[in-house]
Amino acid sequence: MGCFGCSGKSVKETEEEKWKDQLNQSRRNVEDQPPTLDLVKPKPSESVKESDAKREEAAEDKNQLNPDMNDLNLRDICKGGKSNGTCAQTFTFDELEAAIGNFRKDCFLGEGGFGKVYRGHLKRTNQEVAIKQLDRNGLQGTKEFIVEVTMLSLANHPNLVKLIGFCAERDQRLLVYEYMPLGSLEAHLHDLPPRRKGLDWNTRMKIAAGAAQGLEYLHEKLNPPIIYRDLKCSNILLGDGYHPKLSDFGLAKVGPSGDRTHVSTRVMGTYGYCAPDYAMTGQLTFKSDIYSFGVVLLELITGRKAFDPVKDPKEQNLVAWARPLFKDRRKFWMMADPSLEGKYPVRGLYQALAIAAMCVQEQPSMRPVIADVVTALNYLASQKYDPSIHPVQSSKSRRASSTRAKSEEVKVTTTDDDSESN
Ligand SMILES: Nc1ncnc2c1ncn2[C@@H]1O[C@H](COP(=O)(O)OP(=O)(O)OP(=O)(O)O)[C@@H](O)[C@H]1O
Ligand SMILES: [Mg+2]
């Protein structure tokens, strides 16, 4: 989960009290929590964006979940069953503790905004699992826990990580997911250890197409449709064969219904991924997710991070760096990840960049809907790079293809100017 809300009270003084309050609150109502001061999750490696829009939120946030969900609590989620026919199981703390070898160090997978994640083995189902334990001193809370359980209990798609169950015993909050053996996309794209090979072009396009299908399910197939709000490389987990699945739904929101075009809510997102329109107005739309998807696609193509504080200021924000390059097709080759070593189909690169450029347009109305992105990426993923057909792009051939590009009439439609506000 990428972001969270947190109260502005002194942590020490109120921690226990706050925790008890949260528990009671969650029993009463999923969304009926007092307004909080919004901060975006400060993950050590990431820059964060402070929320700036509380406006209509207090009034409207209550309506973000479908009325059916408003009075839901964890017991109900399990008792009521779910639309996909399988119910998230409840686990005792002892059972999960045993599954991860009493929180053994070598079971530790990593840590995010929610808390620590461990690999474990469930005896009950003889299954490999990943178990996330809510950090009680952390800034993500019961609300995110319940939204996560609710969303994943409603959803069932091959490109969404499966929630196997949860533990809500005493003050413990743990989530049990299917284990994704290849970890996160982020770990395969950025800061690779020396000598580890980066992802090849075909795998990148496969991941992009699969992630888009997961998002399409949330936007267009699920009822009610969901705005994910936390799309980023660290939340795309990889299974065998680099099969991608979206994870972390604690920030997800039910999309606008009827004539409403947006959901007004506090701004939560990660630098580099958050759509500028949402960041400025607090108006969340399906197109906010499309922007974040465009950033992920750009990361896949370029190998650059969405926001990289180590880079020269002009190159820190990936979209700001890419925008001027989008305008000149002759420069497209400069955007290909150097670790691909020229092993990509030129046409495929151009098409992938065209899709990314459309997704990150400043005007949300100019961004495509996810179904169109899926169609385009499925086609791209089917056009495999084959070194026996496609020549490796040396700098000489790149220059030649850029000269050809000058005379071809393929244009990326973009209405944006060069300014970057995200
Ligand atoms: N189901 C899973 N299978 C395997 N590894 C997982 C699973 N879920 C999470 N992880 C790993 O655990 C680590 C922490 O994940 P977590 O989602 O808590 O944090 P994050 O994605 O890095 O940050 P954020 O809080 O922004 O989501 C990551 O390295 C992630 O790859
Ligand atoms: Mg995550």
Name the residue ranges covered by the structural domains of the chain. Answer: 46-178, 185-405
Give the whole-angstrom CA distance, residue 142 versus residue 139: 10
Residue 114 CB–ligand 1 contact under 6 Å = yes
Q: Which ligand is nearest to the CA of 144?
A: 1
> Rounded to the nearest 5 degrees, what angle is found at the Cα of 209, between the Cα atoms of 205 and 211?
115
User: How far, in Å, CA of 264 to CA of 259, rounded?
Assistant: 14
Structure tokens at 145: 């826990």
Token couple for 351: 């098409």
Residue type, 238: L
The answer to whether 46-178 and 185-405 have equal CATH topology is no
Contacts of 400 (CB under 8 A, 6+ apart): none
Both tokens of 83, joined, read: 């639309």
What is the CATH T-level fold of the domain 46-178, as seen in this structure?
A: Phosphorylase Kinase; domain 1 (3.30.200)
308 is catalytic: no
Ligand 1: centre distance to CA 111 (Å): 7
Q: Which residues pair with 120 in a beta bridge?
A: 129
Strands 236-238 and 244-246: antiparallel
Q: What confidence score (pLDDT) does residue 21 get?
A: 43
Task: Tell me what the mean pLDDT of segment 30-39 comes to.
Answer: 27
The least confident of 159-163, 189-193, 328-332, 351-355 is 328-332
Which of 263-267, 288-292, 371-375 has the lowest average pLDDT?
A: 263-267
Q: Which atom of ligand 1 is found nearest the CA of 111?
A: 14
| Burial (Cβ within 10 Å: 0-12, 13-18, ≥19) of residue 123 | exposed
For the annotated binding site, the residues are 132
Question: Ligand 1 pocket: which of 234, 236, 268 to mutate (most atoms <8 Å of CB)?
Answer: 234
Cα 263 to averaged position of ligand 1 atoms, centre (Å): 27
- Residue 246 tokens read as 């979206």
Of 4, 184, 185, which is best to mutate to test ligand 1, by the most ligand atoms within 8 angstroms of its C-beta?
Answer: 184
- Does the C-beta of 239 come closer than 6 Å to ligand 1? no
CB-CB contact of 79 with 88 (8 Å): no
What pLDDT is recorded for position 400? 61
**More confidently predicted of 43 and 399:** 399
The pLDDT score that the predictor gives to residue 206 is 98
Query: Ligand 1, closest atom to CA 113?
Result: 25
Q: Find out whether the beta carbon of 43 lies less than 6 Å from any atom of ligand 1.
A: yes
Is pLDDT above 80 for 64?
no
CA of 82 to the centre of ligand 2 (A): 24
User: What mean pLDDT is predicted for residues 155-176?
Assistant: 93
107 pocket-lining for ligand 1 (C-beta < 6 Å): no
Q: Which fold has domain 185-405?
A: Transferase(Phosphotransferase); domain 1 (1.10.510)
The total of other beta-carbon atoms located within 10 Å of residue 12's CB is: 8
Let me know: does 346 contact 385? Beta carbons within 8 Å: no
User: What does DSSP say about strands 253-254 and 244-246: parallel, antiparallel, or unpaired?
Assistant: unpaired
CB 212 within 8 A of CB 293: yes
Reply yes or no on whether the pLDDT at 9 is more than 80. Answer: no
- The per-residue pLDDT for range 346-397, each reduced to its tens digit, is 999 999 999 999 999 999 999 999 999 999 999 999 999 988 887 787 766 6
pLDDT, averaged across the chain:
77
Query: Phi/psi zone of residue 292: left (φ > 0), alpha (ψ -120 to 50 degrees), beta?
Result: alpha
How far is the centre of ligand 2, averaged over its atoms, from the C-alpha of 132 (Å)? 10
Q: Is the Cα dihedral 157, 159, 164, 170 positive or negative? A: negative
- pLDDT confidence tier of residue 281, bands split at 50, 70 and 90: very high
Taking the model in full, what pTM does it have? 0.79
The strand pairing partners of 357, in sequence order, are none
- Nearest ligand, CA of residue 175? 1
For the Cβ of 1 lying below 6 angstroms from any atom of ligand 1, the answer is: yes
Atom of ligand 1 nearest to the CA of 1: 27
Assess whether pLDDT exceeds 50 at residue 65. Answer: no
Q: Is 195 exposed, middle or buried (0-12, 13-18, 19+ CB in 10 A)?
A: exposed
Mean pLDDT: which of 274-283, 355-364, 394-403 is highest? Answer: 355-364
Residue 244 identity (one-letter amino acid): P
Which pLDDT does position 398 carry in this prediction?
63
Side-chain half-sphere exposure of 140, counting CA atoms within 13 A: 30
Q: Which of 38, 61, 230, 337 is catalytic?
A: 230
Evaluate: CB of 237 within 6 angstroms of ligand 1.
yes
Ligand 1 atom 18: residue of nearest CA: 112
